[in-house]
Amino acid sequence: MTVSEAELRNRLEESENLPYGDGRTAVVEEILAQAEAIGGGPSKLAFDVRMELISCYENGAQPDRAFVPFAWCLAAFDRGELEFTDWDAELLRWYYKWMIGAMRRFPTIGLNQVNAALDDMERRYRAGGHSMHAVHMLRCLIHSHLGDRDAAEEEFAKWIASPRDENSDCAGCEPTKQLSHHVWMGRDEEGLALAEPVVAGQLGCREQPQSMLAEMMLPLVRVGRLDEAREAHLKAYRRHRGNRDAMADIADHIEFCALTGNEARGLDILTRHLDWVDRPREPYSDMAFAASGALLLRRLEEIGHGDLTVSWRSADVPVRQLRTELTERVRTIAAKFDARNGNTYQSERFEGIMAAQPLVDELPLGGSSRPAGRTVRAVVTPPAELPGELTPEEIADLAEKGDRTSDSAWSRLEKLAEAGELPESVLPRWHEEQADRAIRTREPEKAAELARRAIDEYVAIGDVARAARAKSVLAMAVEADEGLALLAEARKVESPYAVEVALRQVQALARAERYHEAMAAAMDAVELAGDNPLAAAAAYRMQARLHGRAGRLTAAAEAAEKARTLARQNDDPIAAAGCAVLLAQILYDDDRAQEAFDATAEVLAVESWPAAELPTLGRAYELRWVILRDAGQAGEQAAVDAALGGLDIWHEVGDRQRAAFSGMNLGFSYYLRGQWLDAAELLEQALHELAEGSDDALAARSLLGTCQARLGEHVDAAENLARSAAGFLEVGEFRRAGNDLIESGTALTLAERTDDALDRFSSAAELMAQADWPYGVVVALQHQARVLMNSEEVEEAYEIAVEAYERARALPESDAYDAGWVRADAADDVARILQELDRFDEAFGPAREAAAGYRAAGDEASAAATHLLIAMLRIGTEDAAGAEADARRILLECQETATPDVLYRARAVLATALHKQGRDAESEAIWAELTPD
């Protein structure tokens, strides 16, 4: 069935709401096929569809496919058979720039063809009376591609001297190309000076500021502005990573990582995008990506990671092999460019990239590798040296003492065991130690086998006391009932090791939830410890845990304090630190936060830590952060230091789950400090480890979405906030789900996805109603109304704004929000929509209510904006004198409270009011001040 032209035009317009990519391209290609099927020769519809298809190919990483439809459109335009508009002509000129820019990146297109196209473009521009600004820019880029510095510099001078016009690149993209030229010419500082307006967000487009940031990365490193280089990389990569069109930019990021000591992150980026080489944007980007990858892989080899493998094309490829493949890929493509260009510049350039040396030893980036500003390093205690020549028995005695020489002694025994040099008197002691280690590493079967062997060996040599101790080790590796029976037997044996047996019995009884018996055993352990302070400290620690589990927090704190005192008496800072962490947790649970915080200070004061004890330090950092968060100080430097410390320790220990929690905490602290980039990096990394759908994962994803919104990553923000909202909805947290949907809708609004945004706001209003949160309902409705008004669906916007206004008037007073301000804000929306509807007289009432409400709530800036609205309404009702009075009042009374925009517009209203009163001289004087150019 033939589709009408009107239907096809509707479909073409609808396609513009789709993101660029294969899907949108396929839709437009199908529309073109149907437009062609209508017949009747070339048509304006076929022209318009092809013009849209050119945009799809250019922005969808398929620029080579744009050449044919462009040639068709250009020929049709030249024939003049169709009715073309000025916009058609302007768009063709713009697309001509795309075509020439793309032609230089395909070595199969001859240089003569490129130059002929550029000459034709120049002819057309001159014939139309246009500036040569864009022409000189393209000639400069082509000379740069050929390596002709003198010719490029000459065209660059003409480029910047020519006036900009509608054919010039946008004010954000052009400085990026100029920066690139300056850098190529060795003028890093001069080039970087161009970047400030783009990076500051004053100039931008779909490709900015990320393209500018990518160009800045290495120049910033070379001039020593390392913090800015780090931020440029992180910000830009976040926007480039999901865009296949940015393959050359991804290459820049890989090169940056390879040259700044960030090889691990560079490998992450390379592997994430490696499949892009099977469908590159064009040969030049392919060559750039392969070259940066080869550079990175060479650096990995040089720092000792040549044996790593990379997943590619369903296989694990060694780094060395992949480097060889990518290097050959670069050389093959470069040779084609050399043949086309008639010189070896491209080969030499990319050989230089692959052979480049690091610019700095290390530029910490934060996020997945190590946190930026990391302030804490774990210091691991070096092994203590053993006294001179010792017998195996003497070494075993030192190992069992449990002091600083223990680790070294056990290490010496391990070497003797591996050499088969342990005598029968020592062998069971080694097997018992191995069994105890297997229990700590959660290998119960191995532990049981070793413990039984040790028991038999002890019995064989008549060491009944140690056999009982080994039996207590075995008890920890078997089922609960059997273990308790073994411990009861071991307790009957009087020996120097009775306290160790008793302590294990406490653990076993507690695991079996026989807490009264466990407490009795713990009290026995104190008695059995005698003059051994560390053993007594261990017994008191167990008592503290048992008291805490039973809710007897005062008794728990007393027991933990006794344990800490005993550890201190033994001059064992590590043991004292373990007791201090336990005491701090108990005090925190008992709402004694300051005392808990003070207790953790003892842990941080320890300067040297055995590797096995680092989790104690990690828990202290975690608790400090939680205490600061509860006190509303999560954004303070002390909280940042605590989270950094925890993250550092858990990375050192290798506990990825705990590192994820610390990373999430640090992300929250950074968010509160306005460091949204650092926060987003950390939260993304944490989400890799947190269980999907868990409370922590939902909170992390929600905060990540908020950070992304602050960073201008609106589509990603909307997606993450929608996912967290769905998770909150699943667990019945309607209010949190509604809040995230409002944030998601706001992000979609900024991404110009209006229909999706309206759906989010509508759903949010329903969820807020289910949560019985009237304030949330009002806010969701207000967002809906504002989007509809901006979409020129003003009547519908009015209906929803009135509903929000009526609900706001019924809001109860609350500590959670200022109901008066909310009522004012809702009234202001109604007044502004009435203004759009030219219902000026009706708008005065809600506008005055809004102004009074804002002022009562202390929001003088909003009050001034609403007074300006009232002045504008007077203009609409032809009350020029009243508008003049209102405008003068704003300018006189609100200089300190109104925004610059409101003050500017108030002067414009004043000028308009004066003109309407016939006072043109006064009016023109004000306009002259407002528009000095």
Question: Could you report the per-residue pLDDT of 78-108, keeping only the tens digit for each?
Answer: 998 888 999 999 999 999 999 999 999 999 9
Q: Which distant-in-sequence residues (6+ apart) come within 8 Å of 341 by Cβ?
A: 111, 145, 146
206, 55 contact by CB (below 8 A): no
pLDDT digits (tens, 9 = 90+) for 828-877: 999 999 999 999 999 999 999 999 999 999 999 999 999 999 999 999 99
pLDDT in tens, 375-432: 344 455 566 677 778 888 888 888 887 666 777 888 888 888 888 888 999 899 999 8
Residue 657, classified by CB atoms within 10 Å of its CB into exposed (0-12), middle (13-18) or buried (19+), is exposed
Task: Judge residue 148's burial from the number of C-beta atoms within 10 Å of its C-beta, 0-12 exposed, 13-18 middle, 19 or more buried.
Answer: middle
Q: What's the pLDDT band for 373 if we cut at 50, 70, 90?
A: very low
- Cite the beta strand spans of 777-929 per DSSP E: none
Residues 290-301 have a mean pLDDT of 96
Which pLDDT value is given to residue 205? 65
Helix (H, G, I), strand (E, B) or coil at 316: strand
Give the residue with greater pLDDT, 924 vs 19.
Answer: 924
Tokens of 165: 């016009």
For range 654-676, the mean pLDDT: 93
Contact 289, 273 (CB under 8 A): yes
pLDDT of 496-507, one tens digit each? 989 889 999 989
Query: Which residue, among 681, 643, 621, has the nearest Cα to 634 in the 3D structure?
Result: 643
% of the chain surpassing 90 pLDDT: 70
The 10s digit of each residue's pLDDT in 340-366 is: 999 999 999 999 999 999 999 889 886
pLDDT for 227-276, tens place per residue? Answer: 999 999 998 998 888 888 899 999 999 999 999 999 989 998 999 999 99
Q: What is the mean pLDDT of the chain?
A: 90
Site of tokens 């006294």: 387
3-state secondary structure of 712: coil
CB of 670 closer than 8 Å to CB of 704: no
Confidence of residue 531 (pLDDT cuts 50, 70, 90): confident
Does this model's pTM top 0.85? My answer is no
- Rounded Cα distance between 702 and 695, Å, is 11
pLDDT at 818 over 60: yes
pLDDT-based confidence at 172, cuts 50/70/90?
A: confident
CA–CA distance, 265 with 79 (Å, rounded to integer): 54
Q: Give the whole-angstrom CA distance, residue 263 versus residue 860.
A: 52
> What confidence score (pLDDT) does residue 370 get?
43
**pLDDT recorded at residue 371:** 40
Per-residue pLDDT, 730? 94
Q: Which residue stretches of 550-592 are H helix?
A: 553-569, 573-589
pLDDT tens-digit map of 708-762: 999 988 999 999 999 999 999 999 999 999 999 999 999 999 988 999 999 999 9
Residue 794 phi/psi, 5-degree rounding, is -70, -40
Mean predicted confidence (pLDDT) in 2-30: 88
Residue 513, pLDDT above cutoff 70: yes
Integer CA distances (angstroms), 388 to 409, 430, 578, in order? 12, 21, 32
Residues 723 and 739: their CA atoms lie apart, in Å, by 12
Q: Quick: pLDDT tens for 748-799.
A: 999 889 999 999 999 999 999 999 999 999 999 999 999 999 988 999 999 9
Coil, strand or helix: which one is 549? helix
Integer-rounded Cα radius of gyration of the chain: 36
How large is the average pLDDT for residues 158-181? 88
Predicted confidence (pLDDT) at residue 369 exceeds the cutoff of 50: no
Across residues 279-291, what is the average pLDDT? 93
> Is 109 a residue whose pLDDT tops 50?
yes
